Amino acid sequence: MNKHHTHPLALAVATLCFCMSAQAQSSNDAATKASGAADSANTPTAPSAPAGDAGFMGGLFSAPGTTGSLNQLAATPSYELTGIGRRDTTQTTILTAPVNGLPVRFDNGIFVYASALAGFGHNSNVNAATTGGVSSNFYSLQPDIVGELKTRGDRYTLRYQGNYTKYTASSADNFNHHNFDLAGDNYFSSRSTLGWNVGYIENSDARGTTNTTATSNPNRWNAPTARAIYAYGAKDAQGRIEVEGNYISKRYQNNLTITSVLNQDKTGVAGRFYYRVAPRTSMMFELNQVHANYVNNTGYTNNDRRVYVGVVWDATAKTSGAFKIGSAQKTFTDGGFGKATGTAWEGAVKWSPLTYSNFEFISSRTLADSTGLGNYLINTGNLVNWNHQWRSNLTSTASLGTLKSEFDGAGRTDNIDNASIGIFYEVGRNWRAGAQWAYTKRKSNQAIYEFNRNSTFFSLQGTL
């Protein structure tokens, strides 16, 4: 059994988070209590809902701040480079971290934002087993600290996100996740901008989420990452271009006789051209390529190229979105894997029929690398999220999603159904209580891969 050691820096950060939270509770003045928003430095704040969600829906705590995503539905997550996608020009930042709550201010111009989420819940099938799954209660602590510096119109952030989760009936599945990220948004002019970040991740694959030989504990991995986006063209210009690149080097740390074949270096580049065809609508053309080098399994090494044409719109106060469709091609070093080709698309539409209620419709079809079974995967997913504010201090989220995964060369097809509900109650300005439930069912033409899971999670989040 592998022991799980808490990262020393992470412990220090978590302690600092609670210390600053106590300090802020005792020192807030009347003005900050009334505003409940950003300070006078005009720092953008994350939305009050669902920004504090634990990322519980569809995959335990994997994506804080979301009500559900197609990646969360996947039982076999693809290791595509995160973030290869257009920049949303409605955002006030490029790649720097969002912030929540009010900051601690220092004389040198640095602002520190801190929050932490603590909770407990139950997972009916921790190891995603077809029969005899491990059922366990669990406890989780998730600190999030952002340091921010603004100078000469540019913004820089240093962020730490942690996730410490312990299972009462299955200590082998305990995990400590850490994410360190340094980012900058540089504004050279109204037309020329650059966003960049470098980071380091310590994470793990929960049992049942990859298709390697079954292990007795999660497969832990580390990865340095880097990403940059350069854009030229004013927001309202007729034409606008973006150039993007990113990199990740993933190395597994345990169960190496099984996991070492998944060690990989991925380098991605993308170029996009936007042409405005109406005041709030633009056509988009994109070329996107990722080179995946599997250092211990050259057969999986491949080039993934995608060519898209699409549209981006914010036509009314009620509807906004983007959709792109095109061709995808994955070429392998090992000729025995053949060449994967097909139609690919990505789309997301947000509809707000009321100022306090919105629906998100997300759809995608993409090629993904294998995680131990077959040559590659074809993933087709659809997801609907509903976010509703019942009162000023009471919000809810709900999602329904499906994911179809076809395993080329293995004769296997999975269909995953996912449903989730969450309700959140603001307790004053600093606290947010939540209760969430999620259900996942995987059906397969190979019955040994089927499973059901019910999960519940009760949480309390505090911010400065």
Q: Which CATH number fits domain 8-35+47-461: 2.40.160, 1.10.287, 2.60.40, 1.10.10?
A: 2.40.160
DSSP string, 227-293: EEEEEES-TTSSEEEEEEEEEEEEEE-S-HHHHGGG-EEEEEEEEEEEEEEETTEEEEEEEEEEEEE
pLDDT at position 95 is 95
pLDDT at position 4 is 45
DSSP string, 93-147: -SSSPPB-S-PEE-TTSEEEEEEEEEEEEEES-TT--SSS---EEEEEEEEEEEE
pLDDT at position 407 is 92
Quick: pLDDT tens for 366-410: 999 988 888 899 999 999 999 999 999 999 999 999 999 999 989
β-pairing, 219-232 vs 192-205, is antiparallel
Nearest CA-CA partner of 161 in 134, 130, 182, 187: 182
The region of weakest confidence among 60-69, 141-150, 298-307 is 60-69
> Domain limits of the chain?
8-35+47-461
pLDDT at position 294 is 94
Report CA 65 to chain centroid distance, whole Å. 8
Quick: pLDDT tens for 22-51: 333 333 333 333 333 222 232 222 223 333
Quick: pLDDT tens for 228-244: 999 999 878 999 999 99
Q: How confident is the model at residue 9 (pLDDT cuts 50, 70, 90)?
A: very low
- The pTM for the full model equals 0.80
What are the Cα distances from residue 463, in Å, to 28, 113, 346, 392?
Answer: 12, 8, 34, 18
**In this structure, which amino acid lies at residue 93?**
T
Q: Is the pLDDT of residue 53 over 50?
A: no
